[in-house]
């Protein structure tokens, strides 16, 4: 069934959009990521402009994160204190990111910056997670218990608070800074940032793996909402119809994803996520380096998305 | 005077056809009173792009009073366009060069009863900008040491790939010696705005008569409302988008909990 998308200004098959949303939702539930890092490139592949793909991505991520968050909330896997700190930082970052996005679009460099950001972040995060996943799998066989977290320079920072759910006594600065960075990423790349936030929470803040996914999803809801609003106001690139169709699929997919994710061992889950992250990053890097079919691109001069 | 009854009959037939096709009022038939030896009518003058729009085609009917050739051009709304060229630097392909063109039509097609060059002298083709290859693309600014023609060619290539331009003229069918029809194909992503349909009656390389008709393509129904909402009330649109996403997520979660 063909449906006209009013902001993307093109017709697309509604069924394909539902299935696409479902597939991304499944992965999002499994790994606790917003799924935006898959959705944005897929939408661009479908012919949606990078601008609308990013703006609509922020909208979709809200929906797919709500169901995931509620599923984790019921299991008591959300640290609301750290979530609130990350969200506060995210509000500022998301707004700044949407403004930077507008500047880049006017300069004709949005596609490049979006792709390059993907390549850099996905490669770095994928490698870190992959190495850690392998190490954790090997260590499990030798030692029965791991230390809760390592002590680093992070623990020398001021403004320390006690976070009961995570059983941590750490500075409030790293979660806030992490949120700010996530906000910028959310607005420029159209991602929730879970693929970056999850490892940062584990390795930088030292949160227990059990609460990381739920807490990151909660922060993603807040950050994506602010980012979505900033894009709607600054760039007019949020397509409600496209977003809702993808969201319906994503919400259903995420429910199954959460169930599947619960049955897989945490370090294996991280290993799988690392592989997926590296695959998307590699594909994007390839498209940047390989000679394009047509080196020319045509766009309206004034900022219609 | 011998000509008049024939023209009236043709106009009547034309009016009927148009009326059957899309319920166009009989205003076209009134034009028969004029001396012009050429008449045209579109099967529809207004197209609404709603959520189920997947491209359409409209039919142009016409009648001539004298034997001759007919050339029809359809020109969409104009806007400035920038064409960028990627260059490889440090292994990565980056938008490096750009040229902006003034008044580029978002849609352009031509239909002709015979190959254009056989009907109209080359000089007139250029002056009237007939055929997408002859569209005057004026440079506003450029950031390239290269030739603007490469960028013009790229613009044509892209528009042709998207079925918005066609370099080969479409066919005009003559139903009899005086009556003709042609189909105007509009793809799914046709730009919205005001279109001008221009018909020329050419005899011996001279334009005997020119007729224009207006075609308006608008976003209609629900999708037009959404588009206008997103532009005119940006903040509220953003809040609604967030609320819808939250509700969609919550409903999904709720439904699955019950199940």
B87 CB neighbours in chain A (<8 A) are 295
- Tell me the per-residue pLDDT of A221-279, one tens digit each, with 9 for 90 and over: 999 999 999 999 998 999 999 999 999 888 888 778 878 877 877 778 778 888 888 88
Residue A146 pLDDT grade (very low, low, confident, very high; cuts 50, 70, 90): very low
Residue B34: pLDDT band (50, 70, 90) is low
- Per the CB < 8 A criterion, the answer to whether A2 and A188 are in contact is no
Q: Is A304's pLDDT higher than 60? A: no
**Residue A36 in domain:** yes
- Average pLDDT, stretch A180-203? 86
Instruction: Confirm whether A100 is domain-assigned.
Output: yes
Q: Are A305 and A55 in contact (CB under 8 A)?
A: yes
With CB atoms and an 8 Å threshold, state whether A298 touches B79: no
Count of domains for chain A: 1
CB atoms within 10 A of CB A46: 16
Q: What confidence score (pLDDT) does residue B167 get? A: 82
pLDDT reading at B258 higher than 80: no
Name which of A116-120, B29-33, B119-123 the model is least confident about: B29-33
Does A275 fall in a domain?
no
Q: Domains of chain B: which residue ranges?
A: 39-219, 224-258
Phi, psi of B212, deg, nearest 5:
-125, 150
Contact indicator for B75, B107 with CB cutoff of 8 Å:
yes
Q: What is the pLDDT of residue A207?
A: 85
pLDDT value at A43 more than 80: yes
Question: On the CB side of A258, how many CA atoms lie within 13 Å of its CA?
Answer: 26
Angle at A259 between CA A256 and CA A264, to 5 degrees: 125
Computed over every residue of chain B, the mean pLDDT equals 83
Q: B92, A297: Cβ pair inside 8 Å?
A: no
* pLDDT for position B83: 92
Nearest CA in chain B to A249: B252
Cross-chain CB nearest to B230 (options A232, A289, A301): A232
The tokens describing A289, both together, are 């380096």
Distance from the Cα of B148 to chain A's closest Cα (Å) equals 12
Task: Please report the pLDDT score of residue A2 as a whole number.
Answer: 80
Alpha carbons B44 and B40: distance in angstroms, whole number: 12
Chain B partners of A225 at a C-beta cutoff of 8 Å?
Answer: 242, 246
Distance from CA of B172 to the nearest CA of A (A): 29
A289 within domain boundaries: no
Distance from the Cα of A291 to chain B's closest Cα (Å) equals: 7
Q: What is the pLDDT of residue B9?
A: 54
Q: Is the pLDDT of residue B236 over 90?
A: yes
Distance CA A192, CA A62 (A): 8
List the single residue in B with minimal CA-CA distance to A230.
B238
Between CA B180 and CA B59 the distance in angstroms is 10
Residue in A6, A64, A70 closest to B223 by CB: A6
* Contacts B91 to A, Cβ<8 Å: 289
> Quick check: A204 pLDDT over 50?
yes
Q: Which residues contact A73 (CB under 8 A, 6 or more apart)?
A: A214, A218
Q: What is the mean pLDDT of residues B171-191?
A: 90
| Tens of pLDDT, residues B102-146 | 989 999 999 999 898 888 888 888 888 888 888 888 888 888 888
Whether the full predicted model's pTM is greater than 0.90, yes or no, is: no
> From the CA of B55, how many Å to the nearest CA of chain A?
9
Q: How high is the pLDDT of residue A145?
A: 46
CA A234 to chain B, closest CA, distance in angstroms equals: 8
CB < 8 Å to B235, chain A? 229, 232-233
Burial call B19-35: b when 16+ CB within 10 Å, e when fewer: bebeebeeebbeebeee
pLDDT, tens only, A70-114 = 878 888 888 898 899 999 999 999 999 999 999 998 887 888 888
With cut-offs at 50, 70 and 90, classify the pLDDT of residue B247.
very high
CA distances from B202 to B33, B117, B199 (A): 21, 12, 10
β-pairing, B170-171 vs B108-112, is: parallel
Contact A251 B52 (CB under 8 A): no
Cβ contacts (< 8 Å) between B253 and chain A: which residues?
66-67, 70-71, 251, 255
Do A64 and A247 meet the contact criterion of CB atoms below 8 Å apart?
Answer: yes
Confidence of residue B3 (pLDDT cuts 50, 70, 90): very low
Q: Is residue A70 in a domain?
A: yes
Q: Which of residues 19-48 of B touch A (CB under 8 A)?
A: none
Of B92, B230, B252, the CB nearest to A252: B252
pLDDT at A240: 94
pLDDT at B46: 92
**For position A208, what pLDDT does the model report?**
85
Shortest alpha-carbon distance between residue A142 and chain B (Å) = 40
Give the whole-number percent of chain A exceeding pLDDT 90: 25
Q: Which of B248, B251, B255 should be substituted to probe chain A, the one whose Cβ sees the most A Cβ atoms within 10 Å?
A: B248
CA angle B136, B139, B144 (to 5 degrees): 135
Is pLDDT at A281 greater than 60 in this prediction? Answer: yes
Domain-located, residue A65:
yes
Read off the pLDDT of residues B12-24 as tens digits, 9 standing for 90 and up.
Answer: 555 545 554 444 4
**Chain B residues touching residue A301 (CB < 8 angstroms):** 79-82, 100, 140
CB contact under 8 A, B241 and A240: yes
Picking from B54, B100, B235, the nearest residue to A11 by CB comes out as B54
Q: Which residue of B has its CA nearest to A1?
A: B52
CB contact under 8 A, A294 and B154: yes
- CATH fold for the domain made of B39-219: Immunoglobulin-like (2.60.40)
A236: left (phi over 0), alpha (psi -120 to 50) or beta: left
| B49 chain-A contacts, CB cut-off 8 A | 4
Instruction: Tell me the nearest-neighbour CA distance from B258 into chain A, angstroms.
Output: 12
Read off the pLDDT band of B10 (50, 70, 90): low
The number of residues in chain A equals: 305
* Residue A244 domain flag: yes
């Amino acid at each position: 069934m063909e449906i006209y998308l009013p902001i993307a200004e093109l017709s697309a098959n509604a069924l394909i959009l539902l299935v696409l949303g479902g597939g991304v939702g499944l992965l999002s539930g499994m790994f606790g990521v917003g799924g935006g890092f898959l959705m944005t490139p897929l939408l661009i592949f479908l012919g949606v402009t990078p601008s609308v793909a990013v703006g609509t991505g922020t909208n979709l991520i809200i929906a797919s994160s709500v169901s995931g968050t509620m599923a984790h909330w019921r299991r008591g896997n959300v640290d609301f204190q750290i979530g609130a700190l990350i969200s506060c930082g995210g509000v500022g970052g998301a707004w700044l990111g949407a403004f930077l996005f507008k500047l880049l679009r006017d300069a004709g460099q949005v596609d490049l910056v979006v792709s390059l950001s993907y390549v850099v972040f996905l490669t770095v995060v994928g490698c870190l997670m992959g190495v850690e996943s392998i190490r954790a799998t090997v260590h499990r066989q030798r030692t029965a218990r791991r230390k809760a977290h390592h002590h680093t320079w992070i623990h020398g920072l001021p403004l320390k608070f006690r976070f009961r759910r995570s059983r941590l006594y750490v500075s409030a600065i790293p979660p806030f800074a992490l949120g700010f960075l996530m906000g910028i990423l959310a607005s420029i790349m159209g991602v929730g940032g879970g693929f970056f936030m999850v490892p940062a929470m584990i390795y930088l803040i030292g949160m227990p793996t059990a609460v990381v996914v739920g807490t990151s999803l909660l922060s993603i809801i807040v950050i994506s909402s602010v980012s979505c609003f900033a894009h709607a106001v600054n760039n007019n690139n949020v397509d409600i119809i496209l977003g809702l169709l993808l969201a319906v699929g994503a919400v259903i997919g995420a429910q199954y994803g959460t169930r599947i994710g619960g049955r897989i061992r945490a370090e294996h889950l991280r290993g799988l996520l690392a592989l997926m992250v590296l695959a998307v990053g590699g594909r994007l890097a390839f498209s940047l380096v390989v000679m394009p079919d047509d080196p020319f691109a045509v766009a309206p001069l004034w900022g219609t998305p | 005077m011998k000509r008049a009854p024939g023209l009236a009959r043709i106009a009547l037939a034309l009016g009927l056809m148009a009326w059957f096709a899309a319920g166009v009022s009989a205003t076209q038939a009134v034009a028969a009173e004029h001396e012009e030896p050429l008449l045209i009518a579109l099967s529809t003058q207004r197209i609404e792009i709603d959520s189920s729009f997947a491209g359409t085609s409209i039919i142009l009917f016409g009648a001539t009073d004298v034997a001759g050739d007919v050339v029809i051009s359809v020109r969409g709304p104009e806007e400035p366009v920038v064409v960028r060229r990627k260059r490889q630097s440090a292994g990565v392909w980056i938008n490096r060069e750009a040229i902006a063109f003034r008044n580029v039509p978002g849609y352009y097609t031509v239909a002709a009863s015979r190959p254009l060059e056989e009907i109209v002298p080359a000089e007139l083709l250029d002056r009237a900008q007939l055929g997408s290859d002859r569209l005057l693309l004026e440079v506003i600014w450029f950031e390239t040491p290269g030739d603007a023609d490469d960028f013009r060619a790229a613009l044509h290539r892209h528009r042709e790939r998207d079925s918005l331009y066609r370099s080969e003229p479409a066919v005009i069918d003559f139903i009899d010696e005086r009556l003709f029809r042609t189909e105007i194909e509009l793809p799914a992503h046709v730009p919205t705005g005001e279109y001008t349909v221009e018909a020329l009656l050419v005899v011996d390389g001279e334009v005997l008569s020119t007729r224009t008709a207006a075609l308006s393509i608008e976003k209609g129904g629900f999708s037009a409302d959404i588009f206008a909402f997103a532009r005119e009330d940006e903040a509220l649109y953003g809040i609604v988008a967030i609320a819808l996403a939250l509700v969609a997520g919550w409903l999904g979660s709720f439904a699955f909990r019950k199940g």
